[in-house]
């Protein structure tokens, strides 16, 4: 089963900032430091990483019986945890990138995207995610990670 076309288009559209900023920061950064663009990409990466967690909250909350007298199912508990972890990791990456060094923030975001993908791949194997979800997430993860990596490789600021 494939994802509905609008979801596919919106998923790909979400890559535009990654595809444009990561390469631009690297190439133009060879000639001049681009600290503001780095922070913008770092913030966008944190937003998207948080959104990936929100998808799992949505999957858990789509059923009206998530909180029952008998308790929450194991799969729903896993979804709720997976929903919160990327957002917390993104917040940490953004804080480290802004308060410490932006390269460290990019590195943490890369770990967050890869780690979330690996957990989602296991969930997909167990049938906990829609059939068309993982192929799209694979493309999204590869491009996001490549963009963040290129931005991290750009020459240091000023």
pLDDT of res. 98: 95
Residue 153 has pLDDT above 60, yes or no: yes
> Is 102:35 a contact under the CB 8 Å cutoff?
yes
Residue 66 has pLDDT above 60, yes or no: no
> Is 105:96 a contact under the CB 8 Å cutoff?
yes
For the CA atoms of the chain, what is the radius of gyration? 17
pLDDT of res. 155: 81
Domain boundaries, the chain: 14-27+36-153
Residue 10 has pLDDT above 90, yes or no: no
> Is 111:118 a contact under the CB 8 Å cutoff?
no
pLDDT in tens, 91-121: 999 999 999 999 999 999 999 999 999 999 9
What integer is the mean pLDDT of 69-97?
A: 85
């Amino acid at each position: 089963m494939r994802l509905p076309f609008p979801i596919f288009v919106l998923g790909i559209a979400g890559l535009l900032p990654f595809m444009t900023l990561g390469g631009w920061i690297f190439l133009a950064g060879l000639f001049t430091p681009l600290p503001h663009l780095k922070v913008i990409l770092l913030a966008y990466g944190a937003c998207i990483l948080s959104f990936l967690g929100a998808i799992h909250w949505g999957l858990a909350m789509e059923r009206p019986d998530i909180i029952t007298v008998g308790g929450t199912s194991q799969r729903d508990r896993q979804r709720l945890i997976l929903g919160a972890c990327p957002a917390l990791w993104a917040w940490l990456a953004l804080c480290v990138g802004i308060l410490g060094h932006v390269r460290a923030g990019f590195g943490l975001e890369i770990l967050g995207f890869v780690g979330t993908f690996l957990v989602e791949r296991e969930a997909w194997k167990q049938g906990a995610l829609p059939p068309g979800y993982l192929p799209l997430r694979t493309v999204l993860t590869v491009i996001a990670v490549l963009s963040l990596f290129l931005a991290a490789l750009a020459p240091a600021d000023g």
